[in-house]
């Protein structure tokens, strides 16, 4: 049972899964054997015991994602970031990102016709940094909706282009209408980077 699902093309720098197994086994050799069978873009780092009721998905307390935007065309980063050539107002995007922490209902950033019972999420951090030739967005929350991070980034890009104001951004969240929010940015720039549990 994995810790969650992501859209096709999204990367994971950290992912957990749990399985039930009654007999003892040697973990180091098992990791080596499993990695020999897995495709080259999936790697198991470790196997370790947890309590019998541990659940990789439902026990997660916080997940953190990064989104990478390349500010210049780089042939070697095409599969790991989104190249966007227009100049963005990062200070304004950070002001808009800070507004996310004032809200809990993020229906406007969710895919429609999804099977969730609630659109509520508790976002604990959301900010941009400029690092070398990359704009990197960090966002952490107790849970995320389908397509949520990619839709948030697309809407923040519209803020950075001065297509929508900070007031507009706030109103979009309050109106809970996906059609009012921005486009979903490409999947290849998104990374799941950390999952927090109480017992790890």
Task: Give me the active site residues, please.
Answer: 7
Half-sphere exposure of 102 (CA within 13 A, CB side): 10
Cα of 128 vs its chain's centroid, Å: 14
DSSP for 143-174 reads: ---TTHHHHHHHHHHHHHTTSS-HHHHHHHHH
Q: What share of the chain is helix, strand, coil (3-state, %, to 5)?
A: 30, 20, 50
Residue 134 to residue 152: CA distance in whole angstroms: 18
Q: Which of 128, 142, 133 is nearest to 59 (CA)?
A: 142
Half-sphere exposure of 182 (CA within 13 A, CB side): 24
Q: Which of 177, 111, 172, 176 is nearest to 145 (CA)?
A: 111
Helix (H/G/I), strand (E/B), else coil: 127: strand
């Amino acid at each position: 049972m994995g810790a969650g699902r992501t859209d096709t093309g999204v990367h994971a720098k950290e992912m957990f899964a749990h399985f039930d197994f009654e007999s003892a086994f040697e973990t180091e050799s098992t990791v080596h054997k499993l990695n020999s069978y897995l495709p080259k873009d999936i790697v198991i780092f470790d196997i370790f015991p947890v309590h019998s009721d541990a659940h990789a998905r439902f026990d997660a307390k916080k997940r953190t994602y990064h989104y990478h935007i390349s500010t210049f065309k780089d042939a070697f980063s095409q599969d790991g970031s989104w190249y966007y050539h227009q100049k963005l107002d990062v200070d304004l995007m950070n002001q808009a990102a800070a507004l996310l922490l004032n809200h809990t209902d993020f229906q406007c950033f969710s895919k429609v016709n999804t099977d969730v019972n609630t659109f509520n999420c508790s976002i604990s951090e959301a900010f941009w940094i400029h690092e070398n030739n990359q704009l990197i967005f960090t966002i952490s929350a107790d849970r995320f909706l389908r397509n949520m991070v990619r839709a948030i980034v697309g809407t923040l890009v519209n803020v950075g282009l001065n297509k929508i104001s900070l007031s507009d951004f706030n109103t979009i969240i309050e109106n809970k209408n996906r059609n009012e929010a921005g486009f979903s940015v490409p999947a290849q720039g998104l990374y799941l980077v950390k999952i927090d549990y109480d017992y790890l």
